[in-house]
């Protein structure tokens, strides 16, 4: 780990955006956008450890264990956001995929000074939430955030699997089973890791959560068949999914959605297999929730 935090790539001035304050609005937009492409390139370079994280997250989830994202500031907010969005997207329990942010819930909306520097707080938060065989993913652009590193150390002591997502190649990976380095380089605005580093971190989280849920049977092809229809938009999406996969009209799809207890996969099996709700649910359970396997069952 670098002795001087300003030796970290994300803290160095970006030669490509010098004079940013003297550019026109259009020039600023183009300059920042050009830098943003480096976020996607950085994530591409981390494809192998991302695949490892996907497998580890799926293993934890299928075993009934937790996936925990933890970070401070922008990184912490991204982790909380990812965990929250998995609930309606994949129909998971909010207690199984969770996000921890230094300073607690209030830090989502206003920075809580000093919280990220408290390794003991990170360890405390993990001891309250994590158990053996959980998967704890630390998020820190700099790779030196004490809250995150303290949490990862505590997670390892509990017997949890761990990963660290960072934009610093010299980060402290000593408590991480999986090292995820995203080489985003200097920010367009020096040190503002809410920009490229944050974008790359969000991309990595999208890949891990979506990939893990794919391995856990939470989708059919690229369709989110475990979506929870909790509002009008999601009810309409669920109805379209049933109609598309089962080959029925929207009205019939809507009727079966209601009959299934708002469970898209159950409704599809009911229609495709001509089964009642209890029998469709049992068939899905036998297939471990994988819709393709349930539909292939004779």
Q: Which residues are catalytic?
A: 85, 116
CB 145 within 8 A of CB 35: no
Burial of residue 194 (number of CB atoms within 10 Å: 0-12, 13-18, 19+)? middle
Q: What is the DSSP letter of 223?
A: B
Query: Beta partners for 70?
Result: 100, 138
Query: Beta partners for 101?
Result: 71
Q: Is 234 helix (H, G, I), strand (E, B) or coil?
A: helix
The CA distance from 48 to 266, in Å, is 35
Question: Sign of the C-alpha dihedral, residues 105, 106, 109, 113?
Answer: negative
Question: Sign of the C-alpha dihedral, residues 222, 227, 233, 236?
Answer: positive
């Amino acid at each position: 780990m670098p002795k001087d935090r300003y030796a970290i790539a994300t803290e160095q001035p970006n030669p490509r955006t010098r004079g940013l304050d003297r550019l026109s609005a259009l020039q600023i937009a183009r300059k920042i956008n050009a830098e943003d492409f480096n976020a996607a390139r950085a994530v591409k370079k981390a494809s192998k450890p991302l695949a490892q994280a996907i497998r580890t997250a799926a293993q934890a989830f299928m075993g009934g264990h937790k996936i925990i994202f933890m970070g401070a500031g922008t990184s912490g907010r991204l982790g909380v956001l990812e965990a929250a969005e998995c609930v309606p997207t994949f129909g998971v329990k909010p207690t199984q995929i969770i996000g921890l942010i230094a300073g607690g819930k209030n830090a989502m909306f206003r920075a809580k000074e000093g919280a990220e520097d408290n390794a003991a707080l990170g360890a405390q938060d993990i001891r309250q939430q994590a158990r053996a065989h959980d998967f704890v993913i630390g998020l820190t652009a700099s790779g030196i955030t004490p809250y995150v590193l303290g949490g990862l150390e505590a997670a390892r002591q509990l017997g949890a699997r761990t990963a660290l997502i960072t934009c610093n190649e010299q980060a402290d990976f000593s408590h991480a089973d999986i090292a995820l380095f995203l080489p985003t380089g200097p920010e367009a605005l020096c040190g503002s890791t809410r920009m490229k580093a944050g974008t790359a971190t969000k991309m990595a989280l999208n890949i891990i959560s979506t990939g893990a849920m794919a391995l856990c049977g939470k989708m059919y092809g690229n369709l989110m068949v475990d979506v929870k229809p909790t509002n009008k938009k999601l009810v309409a999406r669920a109805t379209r999914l049933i109609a598309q996969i089962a080959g029925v009209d929207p009205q019939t799809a809507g009727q079966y959605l209601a009959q299934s207890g708002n469970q898209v996969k159950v409704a599809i099996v009911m229609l495709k297999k001509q089964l009642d709700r209890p029998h469709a649910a049992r068939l899905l359970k036998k297939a471990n929730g994988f819709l393709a396997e349930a539909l292939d069952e004779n």
